[in-house]
Amino acid sequence: MMRTSHKLLLLFTLLLQTALYAQNMPTVIELFTSQGCSSCPPADALLEEIKNEYGDNVIALSYHVDYWDYIGWKDPFATKGFTQKQYAYAEKFRSRSVYTPQAVINGRSHYTGSDKSAIYKVLNSDHKIAKPVSLTISKTTLQGNLIAIDYTVADTNTANELTFAITIREKVTQVKRGENRNRTLKNTHIVVAEQTLNRYATNGKLLLQLPDWIKEKDQLSIVAYATKANVGIIDAVTTTL
């Protein structure tokens, strides 16, 4: 009887540790999208739905790519750098081409960004990494159009890269040309600036520059995540500015 109670207590402790660990390890969803793509609005809406449902357990990042601009509508949030980021994922996943909408989850798997059943299946499964690096955003300061970020990381040997991103909570755009012409599109969690560090110290600081079109009323957040080669994202944090 004593042995059974001990086993049950151990099992309960492990389950509790797993639950606490899962709460401390939000799932990162990177959506590659474009206002020039007619298939993207459902994925944009799904990203917001997921964020609203899962709250702090999900970090949502919306990357607007620029290869749809040729159709006639220049996406105001798109950059070539985000397109290159998607191509880097294509190489990692051994894909022959890139596509939108594409949702990359924790840097380890990818799905059609509007495929609700597939994405929810991943969100509700056990796909956490066993050893986080204790990445922390310790201080943020807005200096004009520059954001200064102070960070700490407990283990400088576990992760190969640290990535820092600035996101805007929401923007509404009247699209006048392209596949979504005459539509009003709402985009959320839009990445507007990003920097990746291949070398870093336990304590560090960096500056990210905001685009000129950022308004004072825009709600900004800072996201930081650590990536390990051949694994994916192994720790992630976010804070509002």
- Domain extents for the chain? 3-240
pTM of the model: 0.88
Task: Provide the token pair at 191.
Answer: 């990445």
What's the gap between Cα 153 and its chain centre?
A: 19
What's the CATH fold of domain 3-240? Glutaredoxin (3.40.30)
Answer whether residue 60 shows pLDDT above 80: yes
* Burial group, residue 199, by CB count within 10 angstroms (0-12, 13-18, 19+): exposed
Angle, helix 40-54 to helix 116-123, in steps of 10 degrees: 30
Q: Which helix (H) or strand (E) holds 4?
A: helix 2-24
Answer whether residue 108 shows pLDDT above 90: yes
DSSP 72: S
Q: Region 62-91: what's the mean pLDDT?
A: 97
pLDDT band at 10 (very low <50, low <70, confident <90, very high): very low
Upper half-sphere CA count for residue 23 (Cβ side, 13 Å): 6
SS3 162: strand
Q: Region 79-94: what's the mean pLDDT?
A: 97
